[in-house]
Amino acid sequence: MRISSVETFVVANPPPSFGGPYFVFVKLATDDGLVGYGEAYGATLRPQLVAAAIEDLADHFLVGEDPHNIERFWRRAYSRGFTQRPDVTVMGATSALEMACWDIVGKAAGRHAYDLLGGRVHDGLRAYTYLYPQQGDRADVYTDPDMAAERAVQEVERGFTAVKFDPAGPYTAMGGHQPTQYWADLSERFVRTIRGAVGTSADLLFGTHGQFTPAGAVRLAARLEPYDPLWFEEPVPPDDVDGMAYVAQHTSIPVAAGERLTTKAEFARLLERRAVATVQLNLARAGGLLEGKKIAALAEVFGAQIAPHCYNGPIGFAANVQLAACSPNFLILEYIDDTDGFRSQLVNTETRLEDGRVVPSTAAGLGVTLNEDVARANPYTGDALHLTMWSDPIDAARIDRRI
């Protein structure tokens, strides 16, 4: 068996665009007729360049090669250009191709990817949802604690046992910063109101995006502690490992981080410093399934759990499901519910949500198939990045007016 061709898809994700404005997928085909799919998570470059990077890596290291040789492909891609160091763009492209190889290998064996990565240890996979806006909302769920609490109750009634929200204010390329009184007060009101609404029926996942200094994060955490969140997410910028460890040592709230990290090398630094209790690896950036298994094993050694991140598309999510199913230290999955929306049209899968838990597909490989007609009919032609942050410093005098 040899890889015979590669094709990429940059697919527009129509409003409300939960998971980002577009998805970047890859399709690998073999000379004996098998097909595998993968996905790259948002990078530092525009999506068309990410797609070109995927094609370039595949042309150099995969076309004409046996897809079973995943470790060899990964090491070659990681070291290309005399680099041999973590790089989010290269690893996003590598991740997409790596998971497509696993999709093919699983199909060739007639087995789930998780069977080939150690076997299934979890049946239903606990999932959480972000508190997203819905048409007809009477207020902004992102900034109104009462609206957020109302949405949280609705999600708990649907079966979710954890909800996530991030009311801590803007984040900037010039951060971290100290929390202002306005945003600190709003954050406290969010956790207090939501906890009062859901009681002990759900965990609260408090999200930030690296916007605080270590001292600022500790100040904010002190206001949240009485309401016992399950995690305090990425309280300081992702390159400040010592700062993350300082926060972890000065709050009772477990620290979670990892969506912006890639490869076991970066995760090892966090874990060695006991800076995180929950590892939020995104398999479409972190290096793919095999690298994800290694990261999960490192986390297990340091008493940490994994909560695969997925603010991206359904193929990356399918890979997350495979890793979660075979990882003893799995905690919870990020889930974007779009049962009747674009995602359900974009892929075919038997994976389903039942009472707040994800039930993996029974199909081999990743358990998901891209609807290529839908993908081709919805090309993304813009030039936005998947996620962005403010380029300028936060003006504290203006931020209290909710800009």
- Residues serving a catalytic function are 209, 309
Q: What is the DSSP letter of 139?
A: S
Distance (Å, rounded) from C-alpha 350 to C-alpha 305?
Answer: 26
E strand map for 180-250: 203-207, 231-233
Distance (Å, rounded) from C-alpha 291 to C-alpha 268?
Answer: 12
CA proximity to 42, closest of 293, 262, 318, 345: 262
Distance (Å, rounded) from C-alpha 124 to C-alpha 122?
Answer: 6
Cβ atoms of 347 and 2 within 8 Å: the answer is: no
Q: What is the DSSP letter of 329?
A: T
Structure tokens at 118: 């150690």
Nearest 5°: the CA angle 211, 160, 152 is 60
Instruction: Report the run of H or E that residue 88 belongs to, with start and end.
Output: helix 88-109
Structure tokens at 60: 């150099």
φ and ψ of 271, to 5 deg: -70, -40
Report CA Rg, the chain. Answer: 20
Cβ atoms of 160 and 198 within 8 Å: the answer is: no
Distance (Å, rounded) from C-alpha 105 to C-alpha 308?
Answer: 22
Distance (Å, rounded) from C-alpha 39 to C-alpha 223?
Answer: 38
CA proximity to 6, closest of 23, 41, 30, 39: 30
E strand map for 41-159: 125-130
